[in-house]
Amino acid sequence: MKNRILIILLTVIMSFLFVGLLFIQMRYVKDTVKLRETHFNEAVKRSIGDVARDLQDTGKRDMIQMVGSLLKTAFEDNGLGHISYYYQITENDTDVLYQTPKFYPEKEQYVFRQRLLPREQIYLKIYFPAHSDYIMKSVTLFVPSVVFTIMLLLTFAATLFIINREKKLNEIKTDFVNNMTHEFKTPISSIMLASQMLQDQNVTKTPEILAHISNVIKEETRRLNFQVEKILQISMFENDKSPFKFTEVEINELIAASVVNFSLKVKNRGGQILTDLKAENAWAMVDELHFTNVIYNLMDNALKYSKETEPLVLHINTWNENENECLCISIEDNGIGIKKENLKKIFDRFYRVPTGNLHNVKGFGLGLAYVHRIIRGHKGQITVESEIDKGTRFTIKILTLKNSE
C-alpha cells in the first residue's frame, strides 16, 4: 500500500515537472524570437539610416548608382553581411526609379522604408526573403530539446509500467506460495495421521483398517506427487529449450486411456464422461507425456469447476478437418462457465477467475498456462468458448501425420 502511494506521488511530481519544463521552454523560445527580431529590425534601420546619411548631398542619378554598394557596406558593418535582400527606389511612392530583378515582398509588414534624399520624395524600400529563417535560427535547438523531454517522459512512463507489472507479479507469486503451502499441507497431514494410527498401540490393526490406512497413504502420496509434477512442469516455462520428445501417437487411443483413468474420479462425484472419438486420422507427432497431461488438466478443470447442484457431464469428441490434415479435440463440460471478461486471461500464468462464493476449489492457476504452452509447442491451437452457468468448451487443433491413414 505504501509503495502504491509512493508511485502515485512520484507520477504526480514527475508530471508536474514535465509540464513546468515544457512551459519554461516555450517561454524561452518566445522571448528569444522576440529579442532576435528586435535586434534584426534595429540593425536594418541603422544600416539604411547610414546609407541615407551618405547620400545626403548626391544628385538623383548618382544616388541610384551608389545605393547598391552603400547598402552592401552598411549591412556588413551592422552584422547582416550574409543575409540576402531585394530593394526598390521610388519617387512619390509610385514611380519606380530602380528595382533589383526580384522584388515581390510577400508581406508588406516586413518591408523597410527609408527616405533617401532630404529635398526630394525619394524612398528606398527593402525586404529580406529569408527573414523568418534568420529569426528562427536562434531557436533551432528547441526541437531536439522538446524531443529529449518527450523521450524522458516516455522512459519514465515505461519505468513506471515495469515497476507496476513487477509489483503485480510479486503479489501473484505470494498468492501462489500461499496456495502451494495449502495444497501440500493437506496430504502431508493426512499421511502423518495415517502413520500415527499405525504406531498407536490402541488401534487394533484388522486387515480392513490396514487396507484403509495404506489406501489413504497411497492416495495422498499420489496427490502430493501430482502437485510436485505440476510445479516441475511449470519450471519448463523458465527455460525456453524445447522439452518435447515427439513420437507418433494415436490420439484417440491416448484420450480413451486417459478417460479410463479419470472416469473413476468423475463417477465418485456422480458424473459421467461421454466420448465420441470419430476422427479417422488420429495419428499425430506429439509428446505423449505432455499431451496426456494436457487432456488430464482439461478434465481436471471440468471436474473442479462443475456445478454443485448438477453432476458433471463431460463430452470429449475428436474429428478431422481439412481433408484429414487437422485433428480437432473438444472437451466440453456443463459446469459453472467463465465470464467473457475473464475468458481472455485464463491462459495467463497464475490467473484464477475470482471465485465469489466458491472458496473450496483450490489451484495454482497454472494448469491452463501449461496446456497453452504445450499446444503452442506442438504448433497447434487451443480455443475456448464459455457461457456462465451453462458450461465451457475447449477445442484443440493439431496437425495430423500426413502419410498415415
Among candidate residues 52, 72, 66, 130, the one with its CA nearest the CA of residue 98: 66
Of the candidate residues 295, 365, 382, 398, the single one contacting ligand ATP (CB under 6 A) = 365
Q: Binding to ligand ATP by residue 366, rule CB under 6 A?
A: yes
Q: What distance in Å separates the CA atoms of residue 77 and residue 73, rounded to the nearest whole number?
A: 6
Phi, psi of 254 (to 5 degrees): -60, -45
Count of helices and strands (H, E) across the chain = 9, 11
Of the candidate residues 258, 364, 396, 401, the single one contacting ligand ATP (CB under 6 A) = 364
Task: Select from 135-143, 161-169, 362-370, 371-379 the region that touches Mg ion (CB under 5 A).
Answer: 362-370
Q: Binding to ligand ATP by residue 367, rule CB under 6 A?
A: yes
**Shortest distance (Å) from residue 187 CB to ligand ATP:** 14
Q: Binding to ligand ATP by residue 254, rule CB under 6 A?
A: no
**Shortest distance (Å) from residue 269 CB to ligand ATP:** 14
Q: What distance in Å separates the CA atoms of residue 108 and residue 345, rounded to the nearest whole number?
A: 66
Among candidate residues 371, 237, 392, 224, the one with its CA nearest the CA of residue 296: 371
Q: Whose Cβ is closer to Mg ion: residue 106's or residue 348's? A: 348
What track of x and - describes contact with ligand ATP for positions 286 through 315 (by CB under 6 A)?
Answer: ---------------xx-xx----------
Look at the block and give the residue holding cell 529529449.
148
**Shortest distance (Å) from residue 182 CB to ligand ATP:** 12
Of the candidate residues 47, 233, 330, 392, the single one contacting ligand ATP (CB under 6 A) = 392
Instruction: Answer with the entry of Mg ion, ligand ATP, none that 327 interacts with (C-beta below 5 to 8 A by kind).
Output: none
Q: What distance in Å separates the CA atoms of residue 372 and residue 387, rounded to the nearest whole number?
A: 20
Q: Whose Cβ is closer to ligand ATP: residue 291's or residue 364's? A: 364
CB 89 within 8 A of CB 123: yes
Q: Is 53 exposed, middle or buried, given 0-12, 13-18 or 19+ CB atoms closer than 10 A?
A: exposed
| H helix runs in 239-287, sequence order | 251-268
Of the candidate residues 293, 301, 386, 392, the single one contacting Mg ion (CB under 5 A) = 301
DSSP bridge partners of 398: 327
Among candidate residues 392, 395, 179, the one with its CA nearest the CA of residue 302: 392
CB count in 10 Å sphere of residue 348: 13
Q: Binding to Mg ion by residue 392, rule CB under 5 A?
A: no
What track of x and - describes contact with Mg ion for positions 145 through 164 (by CB under 5 A)?
Answer: --------------------
**Shortest distance (Å) from residue 232 CB to ligand ATP:** 13
Task: Select from 160-168, 235-243, 248-256, 367-375 the region that touches Mg ion (CB under 5 A).
Answer: 367-375
Task: Spell 349-369 as b/e; 16+ CB within 10 A means b.
Answer: bbebbeeeeeeeeebbbbbbb
**Shortest distance (Å) from residue 311 CB to Mg ion:** 19
What track of x and - describes contact with ligand ATP for positions 324 through 363 (by CB under 6 A)?
Answer: ---------x-xxxx-------x----xxx---------x
Among candidate residues 323, 267, 321, 314, the one with its CA nearest the CA of residue 295: 314
**Shortest distance (Å) from residue 303 CB to Mg ion:** 10
**Shortest distance (Å) from residue 367 CB to ligand ATP:** 2
Residues lying near ligand ATP in the complex (CB under 6 A) are found at 301-302, 304-305, 333, 335-338, 346, 351-353, 363-369, 392
